[in-house]
A and B are shown apart, each in its own frame.
Chain A
């Protein structure tokens, strides 16, 4: 490690200096010549028939350029299972259903025009609870499917049934069995930069969508499919990201506002911007899905897990996005967090008239880990085993193949549990029931990509010019996690240049090679590996160029020297030292013979070689450029939902010490230790930033955050009532970075974007139990719930 100049170092984010000078261009800042503004009218009811829409007043308002409804744009189904249209007609199924849209010369006029649209509804009975929605007489959210066949149930036809081993055998082998029921709320990503895009058609009807997506190429794919259905078949679609103001999952799907913006741009022949207000961001961005779990677990006398059986009910909301696929990730902790031989997990996604759900940091894992890790503590109590010990007994190990067929390569879970235990002073502090308590929870997550599509690849191209500039095009995106800095370190290290030589362009589908998306904590691992492959090729080209040109450069130097000084005697050099690319190397932008790194004449600035060797120097068609496509050796899940979908897995343990005020019910976090098996830290400061940020979001999930819906409407659609932590809510987070290296990761690194959030809430819940003997089974653990639970058990503490 110590040999590295940049990897493992705290390189500042200087590549993003525009973010501290106000010059970074986010979607709010983007202006295109002649741009006008789009605005969306949402439904007034969560479930209703649209009887009539009168847009005449809006159309006649000065400055309005277009008014669209479901009745004047093509009736095309979009979305993950094509269960919605862009603008809704006849029926609305959720409060955020897009009923009409306006484009006008100013945002104010667009807003005024929206207010002038009159929609006549006939309200229908709605269903707002997944258990109610599963009853035989429940109102149906959808009447027909994409093929026009009648739908008879609100249960989605998604096959989330995982079985491994034999639950009954596991039950028989158990000395202790516990059962828990748990629930988790809607929470929202609440990016500080709100959603939006700018759609612009050129004279050939080619579209550029300026966007802030995580998945530029899937965005392009979905819009291209949409084009083929609206008479724009064969037209080009370019998705180009501006600086992204936060993501946390929001930008994983192509949202309806993007299609609306495209329709408005098509209609008006002008660039159109849609920019969400904060209220829209709460009301119309799909949140993390709420879940209800029952989980049963057993262990034998020695504490070895015998079986785990769980069922989950997910409130899908009115339409289907990626939220409905989160059970595929829930299966990971369900089947593979700790060694458990017999597993059954069934998840049911249910349509309701609530707002539909999507992806959020952790993608189902936080909910499932809350269930698993609560159950682990219940089981520890039942079996009379220390909860940390129970976890160590069942700890995942390198070389394990889990019931889901995940192949565990590098695994530092044991180290994580032990370090948390030690630093928390677990043995002294646990079990006191003195209103102070300690708890822990662990995690497993994908950390080497996630093969959710046929390709989990990433394309990267690297060009080096005659000035030593390294220009990188990456199909991924940087939504703030720091990929630009981390990749600049990886590329500088691998190429022998400096991070400041590297410039990255992300997420422009016209320039960059294909990428599966910046999700699943995959970017450092996958793009990092693509970078290593591309760097190897580029470096080879430069070294070949060096072999060709270095002797000439040195001799020219001597010639000049001789001209200046006739007495100069050319030294007798061994040109064999620079005769083969294999025996040369580059470091810190200096090229040198490996056998004599400080050679007086053969160590030279690589730019000298590039100036001589490239087209400008030779007049020949010489360039230094290479591309690489890295796709990890992994599998998609098979019909049984098994398969090694990631090249490696992240493990971690969060340990928490809390103090509970039994008068007010308030929970104070005295310390939060977040131990993460990260493989190798490319940039420790940035890595800790991911742990801090995810840890805070996890504390919010555990204690304060909840999107409150009443009859399908978000009741706390603002930053005052949606309780995110502020700087005043001090949570002393201490990251513990476990670096064991991963043989497949770039310089040994594994993904870290999501893991920090995953075990935080259950660790807090377990610590609260240790403090006061009260088990809270539904998040968030508010003071009201703590007081109510204390009251239930007679105030004993």
Chain B
């Protein structure tokens, strides 16, 4: 890595889980690195760093994105929601979080943050998705533990298709 580029910093202001924030970080940092290193949010994980595993998924404005591929300068003015922003202010869990616990959509849990964020982006846009739409939505989120069955069911539960 060219040292001069890596030392150059950029200032960004954006909304993070409802709060206005700003940060000055190296211009080469990705969104996931900024979330993890600067804001000390541990939910989004860097499972591969090249946009293949989906463990770093967060919502930018209304879209689920791989935050490992998201250049930090582009976040300026946008709104970011991470897993840490899912629960209510009183700590009450979001229906997706509840459903993942109820239906064993979590095993090792490493993919869970990203998986829930992908699901949230879908349910925000379509509260009544088909199983195929759910599967397409999370096709970019790898899980090695569950075989996806109980994850898909959990998302269906949260959307109200299945009873909690």
**What residues of chain A have their CB less than 8 Å away from a CB belonging to chain B?**
10, 12-14, 16-17, 19-26, 28-29, 108, 112, 189-194, 243-248, 277-278, 479-482, 685-686, 688-689, 692-697, 718-720, 724-728, 730-731, 733
Contacts and interface: CB of A to CB of B under 8 A. Distances in A.
Interface stretch (B8-16, B40-48, B59-67, B71-79): B40-48
A662 to B, nearest CB: 26
Contacts of A728: 135-136, 139
B46 to A, nearest CB: 7
B47 A727 contact: no
A247 B144 CA distance: 10
Contact of A718 (B48, B93, B100): B48
11 contacts: A21-B86, A25-B42, A191-B144, A192-B110, A192-B111, A246-B144, A278-B49, A719-B53, A726-B139, A726-B140, A733-B147
B154 to A, nearest CB: 10
B22 interface: no
A726 B107 CA distance: 16
Contact of A20 (B47, B112, B139): B112
Interface in B107-158: 107-113, 116, 134-136, 138-152
Given A20-B100, A23-B42, A278 B107 contact: no
A697 B107 CA distance: 14
A13 B135 CA distance: 23
Given A192-B142, A689-B146, A718-B50, A20 B42 contact: no
Contacts of A23: 42-43, 84
Given A19-B109, A20-B112, A191-B144, A278 B48 contact: yes
B141 to A, nearest CB: 7
- For B46, B97, B108, the residue with the greatest tally of chain A CB atoms inside 10 Å of its CB is B108
B142 A693 contact: no
Q: Which are the 5 A-B pairs with shortest beta-carbon distances?
A: A22-B43, A480-B108, A19-B109, A696-B147, A245-B110
Contact of A14 (B101, B113, B135): B101
Given A192-B53, A193-B110, A720-B52, A727 B93 contact: no
A16 B149 CA distance: 19
B146 A108 contact: no
Interface in B20-74: 36, 41-50, 52-53, 55
Query: Taking each of B41, B47, B86, B102, which has the highest tally of chain A beta carbons within 10 Å of its own beta carbon?
Result: B47
Nearest to A25: B42
Interface of B: 1, 6, 36, 41-50, 52-53, 55, 82-84, 86-87, 93, 97, 100-104, 106-113, 116, 134-136, 138-152
Given A192-B47, A689-B104, A689-B150, A727 B110 contact: no
B135 A17 contact: no
A190 B104 contact: no
A719 B48 contact: yes
B83 A28 contact: no
Looking at chain B's contact residues, the main secondary structure is: loop
B52 to A, nearest CB: 4
Given A22-B82, A688-B150, A29 B42 contact: yes
B142 to A, nearest CB: 6
A718 B83 CA distance: 26
Contacts of A21: 43, 83-84, 86-87, 93, 97
A14 B50 CA distance: 32
B109 A730 contact: no
A192 B152 contact: no
Most A C-beta atoms less than 10 A away, residue of B82, B107, B138: B107
Contacts of B143: 192, 727
Given A29-B42, A278-B47, 7 more contacts: A17-B101, A28-B45, A696-B147, A696-B148, A697-B147, A726-B142, A727-B138
Q: Is the interface of A mostly helix, strand, loop or mixed?
A: loop
Contacts of B148: 692, 696, 725-727
B109 A24 contact: yes
B150 A685 contact: yes
Nearest to B87: A21
Interface centre among A194, A248, A693, by most B CB within 10 Å? A693
Contact of B47 (A13, A193, A689, A724): A193
Given A22-B42, A194-B47, A719-B48, A685 B104 contact: yes
A688 to B, nearest CB: 7
A479 B108 contact: yes
B50 A278 contact: yes
Contacts of A697: 144, 147
Contacts of B152: 727
A20 B106 contact: yes
Nearest to B83: A22
B101 to A, nearest CB: 5
Contact of A192 (B43, B108, B134, B147): B108
B83 A482 contact: no
Nearest to B108: A480
B146 A693 contact: yes
A26 B135 contact: no
Contacts of B53: 192, 278, 719
Contacts of B139: 726-728
B8 to A, nearest CB: 14
B107 A22 contact: no
Contact of B109 (A16, A28, A108, A720): A16
B108 A244 contact: yes
A482 B104 contact: yes
Contacts of B109: 16, 19-20, 24, 243, 245, 480
Contacts of B41: 22
A728 B140 CA distance: 9
B145 A246 contact: yes
Interface centre among B43, B84, B139 (most CB of A within 10 A): B43
A81 B42 CA distance: 39
B135 A730 contact: yes
B147 A731 contact: yes
Give the most central of B53, B87, B141: most A CB within 10 Å. Answer: B53
Contacts of A193: 45, 47, 108, 110
Contacts of B87: 21
Contacts of A244: 108
Given A278-B50, A727-B152, A22 B110 contact: no
A693 B107 contact: yes
A112 B104 contact: no
Nearest to B146: A693
A111 to B, nearest CB: 8
A718 B47 CA distance: 11
B110 A26 contact: yes
Contact of B144 (A22, A25, A248): A248
B1 A108 contact: yes
Given A22-B43, A244-B108, A192 B116 contact: no
A484 to B, nearest CB: 11
Nearest to B35: A22
A128 B127 CA distance: 53
Contact of A245 (B43, B93, B108): B108
A685 B97 CA distance: 17
